[in-house]
Structure formats: structure tokens, C-alpha cells
Amino acid sequence: DAGITQSPRYKITETGRQVTLMCHQTWSHSYMFWYRQDLGHGLRLIYYSAAADITDKGEVPDGYVVSRSKTENFPLTLESATRSQTSVYFCASTQGPGNTIYFGEGSWLTVV
Amino acid sequence: EDQVTQSPEALRLQEGESSSLNCSYTVSGLRGLFWYRQDPGKGPEFLFTLYSAGEEKEKERLKATLTKKESFLHITAPKPEDSATYLCAVQERGYNKLIFGAGTRLAVHP
């Protein structure tokens, strides 16, 4: 039971480069989420998706792009990375409202 | 605006010393309140979901309770392996996203 896998787990990139963080879940969950976690802010929602081809903005969407062409994948793209996007990124998924939301192991991104 | 506040920010306990973590919340209509445990370098691990005031759930040394304005995570006779950050999150009716508190860092010393 693989659950949710994120890749890469660790990434260092330069300011202005495009970076894509991948998220794959094996449960066929309808809903998927991207959160970022920073000291002093806790977990903040970037984008979420209710189903394939349906996405919506969360609390901090600026500078990020998502897509969901397949139910099991939910990639997060930083179109032009900035130092303020240095963070730990968590992908999550759930079957539906009120159900448990499961998290991946995280992707550590450093923008230099 | 939905808000979740956890206290204390950090808590140090001796092994066997019971205590409680607090999560106070403001939400228009609560669908569920979630507790997670997070170890360093790991993703949040699900512990409990509480849906209505008065509800209680237990797992080993942990017991979560819910009122209309707050939730408590009671830790009975903690062990060093209970050391982690405990996160509280609320889900509002009509939405599926979680709003998280900043967490409580728990350290249990032998």
C-alpha cells in the first residue's frame, strides 16, 4: 500500500527557475491538496482539487500553478522560483468531505 | 474568518506526567476537528477526527475531546516516544480543506 508519494523529497534550485513537485496517490481519492509548512505559520493551503480537471485556490496560491489531468496525480509547479518559496511542501488526499485527509512525507525545497 | 489557535506552543513533560494540549477554534459551521501528530522530517500522521461537541476518542495514551469552541488532547502517563508536534485542524461545512493551527511541540523526557 504505497499511499501518497512525493518527489523529489529534496530539491535545491536557483531563483527564477521553474520547479515541479510531483504527488501521486494510489487510493483513487477524489480530493487532493498542496500545503506548505513554514516556521511561525504552520500548514497553509496552496491549491486543492476536488476531481480531475477541477482545481481551486487556497490561502497562498500566488506564484504556484497546479494541474490534475489524472485522478492519481497532482503536480505543483513554481513557474519562477523565489527565495520566499523556500519551504516544506506537503501533498494530501482524501476520499471526500469529513473523511480522513492523509499526507505525504513532504518535499523540502530550497531556493537560492 | 476561520481561525485555529493551539496552546501552549511548546510543552516539556517528565515521563509519566500527564497533561493536556488545547486547540481553540472559530468556524462558521464545524464539519470536523482533526488531530495529527508530526515527527521531525515527516508528514502529519492522522490521530483523530471529532465531529460534534461532547464527542471523545481514545488511542493508547491519547484522548481527544471536543466542545463548541475548543478541543483538548489529553496525554496520560506519556513516554519519550510521544515526543512530537501535535497539530489541530478544522474543516468547515461546505468545504473540504483543513485550516491548521501552528501546533504544540511536545517533549517527554525520561
Q: Annotate B71-90 with three-state secondary structure.
A: EEEEECCCCHHHCEEEEEEE
Share of chain A above pLDDT 70, in %: 98
Beta bridge partners of B23: B6, B71
> What CA–CA distances, in Å, run from B63 to B20, B35, B57, B77, B107?
9, 10, 6, 12, 18
Q: Which residue in B has a C-alpha nearest to residue A48's C-alpha? A: B97
**What integer pLDDT is reported at residue B15 of this predicted model?**
97
**What integer pLDDT is reported at residue A102 of this predicted model?**
94
From chain A, which residues contact B within 8 Å (Cβ)? 31, 33, 35, 40-45, 48, 50, 58, 90, 94, 96-98, 100-106
* pLDDT at residue A1 tops 70: no
Q: How many residues does chain B have?
A: 110
Query: In a 10 Å sphere around its CB, with 0-12 CB exposed, 13-18 middle and 19+ buried, how is residue B54 labelled?
Result: exposed
Nearest-CB residue to B97 (from A58, A100, A106) = A58
Residue A104 banded pLDDT, cuts 50, 70, 90 = very high
* pLDDT at residue A2 tops 70: no
List of chain B residues whose C-beta atoms are within 8 Å of the C-beta of residue A58: 97
- Distance between CA atoms of B88 and B23, rounded to whole angstroms? 6
Which triple of cell numbers denotes residue B30? 464545524
- Distance between CA atoms of B24 and B28, rounded to whole angstroms? 14
Which triple of cell numbers denotes residue A38? 513554514
Beta bridge partners of A68: none
Which of B4, B51, B96, B104 has the most A C-beta neighbours within 10 Å, making it the best mutation to test the interface with A? Answer: B96
Q: What sign does the CA torsion over A50, A53, A58, A64 have? A: positive
List of chain A residues whose C-beta atoms are within 8 Å of the C-beta of residue B89: 43
Q: Which of B:85-104 have CB within 8 Å of A?
A: 87, 89, 91, 95-103
**What integer pLDDT is reported at residue A98 of this predicted model?**
81
* pLDDT at residue A11 tops 70: yes
Nearest-CB residue to B49 (from A48, A100, A106) = A100
Q: DSSP letter at B69?
A: S
**What integer pLDDT is reported at residue A65 of this predicted model?**
97
> What CA–CA distances, in Å, run from A73 to A6, A13, A21, B82?
10, 23, 11, 33
Over chain B, what is the mean pLDDT? 94
Q: DSSP letter at A73?
A: B
CA B103 to chain A, closest CA, distance in angstroms equals 7
pLDDT (tens digit per residue) in A29-80: 999 999 999 987 889 999 999 999 999 999 999 999 999 999 999 999 999 9
- Distance between CA atoms of A34 and B86, rounded to whole angstroms? 20
* Ranges of chain B whose pLDDT falls below 50: none
Query: Per-residue pLDDT averaged across A93-110, rounded?
Result: 92
